[in-house]
Structure 1
Amino acid sequence: MKTKFLQINPADNVAVAIVDLPAGEQVTINGVTTTLNEDIPAGHKFALKDFAEGEDIIKYGYPIGHATTAKKQGDWMNENNIKTNLAGLLDYTYHPTSVSLDIPQENLTFKGYRRKNGEVGIRNEVWIIPTVGCVNGIINQLAEGLRRETEGKGVDAIVAYPHNYGCSQLGDDHENTKKILRDMVLHPNAGAVLVVGLGCENNQPDVFREFLGDYDQDRVSFMVTQKVGDEYEEGMKLLRELYEKASKDVRTDIPLSELRVGLKCGGSDGFSGITANPLLGMFSDFLIAQGGTSVLTEVPEMFGAETILMNRCKNEGLFDQTVHLINDFKEYFLSHGEPVGENPSPGNKAGGISTLEEKALGCTQKCGKSYVSGVLPYGERIQVKGLNLLSAPGNDLVASTTLAAAGCHIVLFTTGRGTPFGTFVPTMKISTNTALFNMKPTWIDFNAGVIVDGEPMEETCKRFISYIIGVASGELVNNEKKGYREIAIFKTGVTL
């Protein structure tokens, strides 16, 4: 029989409804029977004890906030009666945690593309990237033109990536735009790239070319539209040359140790921390045990669970970097007069997530239990294998773009509410519940809801590993099938 409720951790003083539970229903946990005082929606919490005003609510074995008023055993516990415990900047002390994961090496491979510089891609696409938003119309026409000529054959995709930036930006915003665009040009999922500039923008094409550093000049071309006559004809000429080279690339066997995945969640619900996020954590630990790499971002959604990550840092230097990662983002919030604990969206709350701590404790399960091996500033590329932490906000499009820009081949995106978007690498949606998977088959790629339906997580993870190897070897995910591909760049300052 399907489980109707769950106490996630023995220390928890709330439980989660797995299905809609009616008022008057009696549930027994650890020999104690609780009568529900009101209807409890699926994914939401109910009290396993009486709460005094100000008393901590415990879920996942940690406080997720405190009761704003006295509540009775069996009451519905939600954002209307739970308040965050989060405050501003904190001092942290390093208390290293010992990590011991007994995961065997399996010598698995996938079919990928080995690039000239030794890096590996899981796609072989032609990308058209603008230095400035003024040429967005041109790049869209160029991509459509090449798709018409080639009928989309010979490479995995031909895609233009318009954005709004590249001019009228100052300071960090200007540098952030340059970094994300540089990371895209250098990404191994692109078999060839045409960079299209205007000529008078802040992000000057010649300066940006130097900013790229070492790049494959056979596979990256530039066009400055103010310096050519017919920009469409010139652009098509360059694209035909690039396409001819990229279309000859072939997949070869690549060790799974070369795979880099980004970990992301959005439209979360009360099942996120029970099914899909722990599944990603199990997969992340498995991939790292094979020598691979996973990257966790959404820094504001680490607030409340940050000490768990800090204490898993391999050394004190990484701990210090993680402290800066957290406090720098808190300072960003506070400098704009915003509190650090007001994160859960209306969709999150409707799905059963009441506070940022609750979301964070569920969110950070995506990175499993491995040591933290690297900490990356926004816009920087992966330097070390293993688990990395990456600076970016929680916004789905911005964070997913940042993960891809860091060098991730795939973004693994868990969701309980559903979302169709994709960034410039495959953006795989993993549903937290079966109802969403059944309702949105053209959005959701993999259903983790089977875990709460009764399938052992180990079995689900085996299927998930096979599916990811298939995707890394060329199987398309839904955002690719639909052509939902876009980028979003983090903006913090003024626009001229």
Structure 2
Amino acid sequence: MQKRLIKVHKDDNVAVALTNLKAGETIVLEDTEYTVLTDTKAKHKIATTDMAVGDEIIMYGVLVGKASEFIAKGGVLTTENVKHQSAKVSGKTADFNWTAPDVSKWNDATFMGYHREDGQVGTANVWLFFPLVFCENRNIEVLKEIFEKELLHQDVSKHRRLLRSLINNTGDDTPEVEESTRVFENVDVKFITHQGGCGGIRQDSETLARLLAGYVNNPNVAGATVLSLGCQNLQIQIFKDALAAISPDSSKPVLIYEQQQMGTVEEMLNVIIQDSFEAIKKANNIERKPTPISKLKIGLECGGSDGFSGISANPTLGHVSDIMAAVKGTAILSEFPELCGVEQELVNRCVDTEKADKFLELMKAFEASVVAAGSGFDMNPSPGNIKDGLITDAMKSAGAAKKGGTSPVEDILDYGEYVTKSGLNLLCTPGNDVESTTAMAGSGANIILFTTGLGTPTGNPITPVIKVSSNSEMAIKMPDIIDFDSGAVVRGEKSIEEMGDELMEFIIKVASGDIETKAAKLNQSDFIPWKRGVSL
């Protein structure tokens, strides 16, 4: 029989409803009876003791809020009776000792990857087109249409034919779609557009240059075609300097074109198409080879979270993160606003005081900028989060941080910095799903794991994004975007370790090209740079 309540940590004074609860029901949890006082939806929390105004609310063993009204034992927690509260944090206060999980089954595991000259290994082989400035977006879009239709032979007419049938009243709402064929089987072409590169402040362009350089240096990228107008803030040399800072000896092919030096658009596009085609032909010669899983750099993301995310999907990613740390692979945890309330634990997990201080400095600067804009981390939960039981930022953060597992924090990266250390890395990004996944790919992630309880189609142009659902109902409802279902953890059918091992096996298949992610099938290639500065 499925459990109906769960207390995540022994010190918690709240329990999570695993199913819908009716007022008046009596439920036994850990030999204690709880009478449900009001109808409570699954994923929401009830108090396990009477709480007076100002009493601390503990979940995941940490402070996640305080009572703003009296809450009786068995009463449901809401935005009306609970306010955000997080623990104060200082510097590193304790040494950290970690017991790594048993990874004997993973020590010899391999995936089929694309080996690069700098020692990195890709899970994909992408030729990337992008502009240095938004003025070149149209030319990128023209190239996208040309290459996707002629090189990839992508069939983009299914919905167009459906609309045509409606216009002509033919009644054919299920038009047949021809199978897509490709000129080259071993290389993909992807296209990025953005609204940056000029305007704003110079720091915005410099930050964008570092991000784009990170995309070129990502092991999933075989090479790139870069378009520049010529007069913009993000000059070609700034981009070249950013790329050299990441990889000074890089031999990866990068084709750069400046429109103001080339004459007409037609002349420029003719040259770009011919040069890029020849480069893509060479990239197609790169083949997958066996690679230890230590070459994986796994980004950890959550979006559209629900009350089960911190119980099932996020801890499952945490187990994968610990496996990566134990086999000398890499994991990247981002979304700094969603680490609010668990800073002290993360600080103490940092390998030295220098890393701990950098983490706190970045957190404080980020929060100060948010406050200066008239907001705060306490306003982080979205309406969807709140509806599904995540009613304070600290509550959301405590569950989100579970993606980072339990291993030491080896390095702290500011936005745009490239990962260089194995183990767990913390990367400063916003909580926004696409801004965060965009940043992780720019910092070198060659696989991204993305947990969701509500559903989101987010993908990335160069890095496969594996969508992990926190509950089976959503996975069944949205099978076109969900790759992996961790709902069995909520039902008590599998442990976090069992689910994490299954996810690890799935990751290897995606990394080897045996499974295409749902986001890739939908051609979901989201790219949003984080603009820290103001516009002038």
TM-score > 0.5, shorter chain as reference: yes
Counterpart position of 1:279: 316
Cα offsets for 1:147-191 (capped at 9, x unmatched): 333233333421110000001131432221111111112222111
- Return the alpha-carbon distance in structure 1 between the equivalents of residues 241 and 504 of structure 2: 39
- Identify which range, 283-292 or 152-161, moves more after superposition: 152-161
Q: Is 1:158 aligned to residue 195 of structure 2?
A: no
Instruction: Give the deviation of 1:320 after TM superposition.
Output: 1.4
1:76 aligns to what SS in structure 2? coil
Partner of 1:465: 504
2:469 counterpart residue number: 431
Report the AA paired with residue 191 of structure 1.
Answer: A
Quick check: 1:221 aligned with 2:221?
Answer: no
- Distance in 1 (CA, whole Å) between partners of 2:269 and 2:324 is 44
* CA separation of 1:199 and 1:217: change in aligned 2, threshold 3 A: farther
Structure 1 residue 334: deviation in Å? 2.4
Q: TM-score, normalised by structure 1?
A: 0.96
Partner of 1:136: 137
Rounded to whole Å, the distance in 1 between the matches of 2:10 and 2:223 is 53
Tell which deviates more after alignment, 243-252 or 334-343: 334-343
3-state SS, counterpart of residue 51 of structure 2: coil
The structure-2 alpha-carbon separation of the partners of 1:34 and 1:442, relative to structure 1 and needing over 3 Å to count, comes to same
Q: How does 1:100-111 map to 2 (within 5 A)?
A: 100-105=99-104, 106-111=107-112
Question: What is the CA distance between 1:221 and its match in structure 2?
Answer: 0.7
Name the residue aligned to 1:354.
391
1:294 aligns with 2:331: yes
- Cα distance in 2 for partners of 1:180, 1:365 equals 27
Counterpart code for 1:482 = L
Contact 2:335 2:429 in 1 (8 A): yes
Q: Please give the alpha-carbon distance, in whole angstroms, between the structure 2 residues aligned to 1:3 and 1:140.
A: 52
Which amino acid in the other structure matches residue 178 of structure 1? A
Of stretches 167-176 and 300-309 in structure 1, the one that deviates more from structure 2 is: 167-176
Task: Quote the Cα distance in structure 2 between the aligned partners of 1:361 and 1:207.
Answer: 39
| 3-state secondary structure, aligned to 1:3 | coil
**Separation of aligned partners in 2, 1:234 and 1:226:** 14
Structure 1 unaligned spans of 5+? none
Are 2:494 and 1:493 aligned?
Answer: no
- The answer for the alignment partner of 2:94 in structure 1 is 95
2:27 is matched with which residue? Answer: 27
Contact 1:301 1:359 in 2 (8 A): yes
Find 1:373's aligned residue among 404, 410, 419.
Answer: 410
Q: Deviations over 1:22-77 (max 9, x none)?
A: 11111112322111111110100011111111111111122211110011111111
Match in the other structure for 1:393? 430
Q: Secondary structure at the match of 2:377?
A: coil
Counterpart CA distance in 1 for 2:372 and 2:124 is: 41
Deviations 1:229-274 (A, max 9, x none): 3222122112111111111110001111110001111111110110
Quote the residue 1:62 is aligned against: 62
By how many angstroms is 1:93 displaced?
4.3
Is the aligned partner of 1:269 residue 2:306?
yes
CA shift for structure 1 position 216: 4.7
Distance in 2, matches of 1:210 and 1:318, equals 26
Q: Please identify, of 220-229 and 238-247, the stretch whose mean Cα deviation from structure 2 is larger.
A: 220-229
Quote how far apart the aligned CAs of 1:215 are: 6.0
Give the match for residue 240 of structure 2. 209
Q: What do residues 185-213 of structure 1 show as CA deviations (whole Å, max 9, x unaligned)?
A: 22221112101111121112244234321
Q: How many Å separate the matches in 2 of 1:292 and 1:198?
A: 40
| AA aligned opposite 2:102 | I
> Where does structure 2 lack aligned partners over 5 or more consecutive residues?
153-181
Task: Give the structure-2-normalised TM-score.
Answer: 0.89
Aligned partner of residue 192 in structure 1, secondary structure? strand
Q: In the aligned structure 2, how far is the partner of 1:309 from the partner of 1:193?
A: 37
Q: Is contact 2:91–2:357 with CA below 8 Å preserved after alignment?
A: no
**Aligned letter for 1:471?**
V
Match in the other structure for 2:156: none
Contact 1:373 / 1:388 at 8 angstroms: preserved in 2? yes
* Larger mean Cα displacement after TM superposition, 179-188 or 99-108: 99-108
For residues 279-332 of structure 1, give each alpha carbon's deviation from its aligned partner in whole angstroms, at most 9, with x where no partner exists. Answer: 000111011111100011111111101111101111122111222122121222
- Taking only the aligned residue pairs, the percentage that are identical comes to 35
Q: AA paired with 1:329?
A: F
Residue 328 and residue 138 in structure 1: after superposition, are their counterparts in 2 closer, same or farther (change >3 A)?
Answer: same
Moved more, 119-128 or 99-108: 99-108
1:162–1:486 Cα contact (<8 Å) kept: no
Q: Distance in 1 between matches of 2:36 and 2:301?
A: 34
